[in-house]
Structure 1
Amino acid sequence: MKPLKEFTIPFIGLKLDKHHFDYQIDKTFFEHFEYDDFNDVSVKTELVFEKKTTLLELHFKISGSVNVNCDISNEPYNQNVIGTFDLVVKFGDSYNDEHDDILIVPHGEYEINIAQYIYELIILSVPAKRIHPGVENGTLKSEILQKLEELSPKDLEEKEKSSEDIDPRWNTLKKLLTDK
C-alpha cells in the first residue's frame, strides 16, 4: 500500500498552535487499503492538529454515511457513522505504535501520515451487526425476509398448545412435586 500523499502533514513548518484540516472521504480512499465491504462512502473528516513544543495532539472527528449491505436481507442501505479519536504524537529514539492513542516517532521526523487512523476510525464506527432500518421497523419487503419468516420457529402460543397435549401420566407426576 502506497501512502496517500494528501493525508501526509508536514508539521515541521507549522507554528505552535492549533491547525484545522478537512478531508472528504470516498470509496477511492478505501481502495488504497483494499477494503471492499462498502458499496459507497461519503464521510467528512475534521482534524484539529495542535502543535506543542514537545508533542503533537491530533483530534479526529468523522461524520457521514457508508452504504453497506444488510446482514439479514443483503439489501444495501446507508449507515450513518460518527466518531471521534484523539492521538498524541511524542518524539523518541525509535518508531513505536504499540499503544492505541500514543504514537512515538523518531526525533528526525518532519511529517506524519494520518490515513491509517482515518481508515480505522471509519471502520470501527460502523456497527458490527448491520441491520437495514426497514427490517427493524418492518417496512422492508423482500423475498429473503419472506423466506426467513416462513422458516422461523413457531410462536410460543403454538408451543403452549402442544404442551397441553401431554400424556396425563406426566401431569400426575407433576402433582407429586407440589404435594410436599
Structure 2
Amino acid sequence: MKYLKKYKIPFSGLTTGKHNFEFEIENSFFDCFEQSLVKKGKLNALVELQKQENMLIVNFTIKGTITLTCDVCLQEFDSPLEIQERVLVKFVNESWDENSEEIMVLSKNDYELDISNLLYEYINVSVPMYTRCSEQGVDLVCDPAMLEKLTEPTAEEDQEEEEKTDPRWAALKNIKNN
C-alpha cells in the first residue's frame, strides 16, 4: 500500500548513534488495515532509533486520541492513548526461527525498517476489551436516552408477562407437578 510507505525508516545511511523520527497517524492509516479495531484517530508517534554495529534499538512513544464506540450506549467518543514500547532489531545472514515480541530479525541486506505493522499492533493491543465512555473517555457519561431505552421492557417481555397470567398455562403446569 502506497500510503504506508511513509512509515519506513531508511537506516542504512544513518551514522551510529541516536536518531529521532516523527510520524502522524490519522484515519487513512487505519483504513489500510481492514481488521483494525480502531477506525479513526489522531496520534503522533515519536520514534527514537539507536543504530549500533549489528542491531537497532527502537523506542516508540505514541500519544493522541482514538475514536471508540461505547459498548453500553453505542456512542462514539474520543479516548486518550499513550503508549511506550521498545523493539530490538537484529541483523542475521541466515534465516532466524526464534521470534519474540521484543526482537525483530532483518537480513543484513535490508536497508529500511517498516514500522507500520508495529504501530498498528501497538495501537490495537491498547484498545480495552470492554469500552465505556465513562471509563475510557474524558468527562463523558453514557447517553441517557439510550440507557433509558435499554431499561424499558421490550415487546417480548410484555408478551411473557401475559403468558404467565394465562390460566390455561397454569392448569398445564399443575399436570407437571403430579
Interval of TM-score (by shorter of Structure 1 and Structure 2): 0.7 to 0.9
Distance across 2 between alignment mates of 1:77 and 1:57: 35
Give the aligned residue type for 1:74. Answer: L
Deviation of the 1:148 alpha carbon: 2.9
Unaligned runs of 5+ in 2: 154-178
Deviation of the 1:34 alpha carbon: 1.7
Aligned to 2:145: 143
TM-score (ref. length: structure 1):
0.74
The answer on whether the counterparts of 2:48 and 2:60 sit within 8 Å (CA) in structure 1 is yes
Distance across 2 between alignment mates of 1:104 and 1:69: 36
Aligned to 1:77: 77
The answer on whether the counterparts of 2:70 and 2:133 sit within 8 Å (CA) in structure 1 is yes
* Higher mean displacement: 102-111 or 90-99: 90-99
Name the SS for the 1:121 alignment partner: helix
Deviation of the 1:96 alpha carbon: 5.3
Tell me: CA distance 1:95–1:6, structure 2 relative to 1, closer, same or farther (3 Å): farther
Size of the aligned set, in residue pairs, is 151
Deviation of the 1:19 alpha carbon: 0.5
Unaligned runs of 5+ in 1: 152-180
Identical-pair percentage:
28
Distance across 2 between alignment mates of 1:81 and 1:135: 9
Tell me: CA distance 1:23–1:96, structure 2 relative to 1, closer, same or farther (3 Å): farther
TM-score (ref. length: structure 2):
0.75
The answer on whether the counterparts of 1:49 and 1:58 sit within 8 Å (CA) in structure 2 is yes
Give the aligned residue type for 2:122. Answer: L
RMSD (CA atoms): 2.5
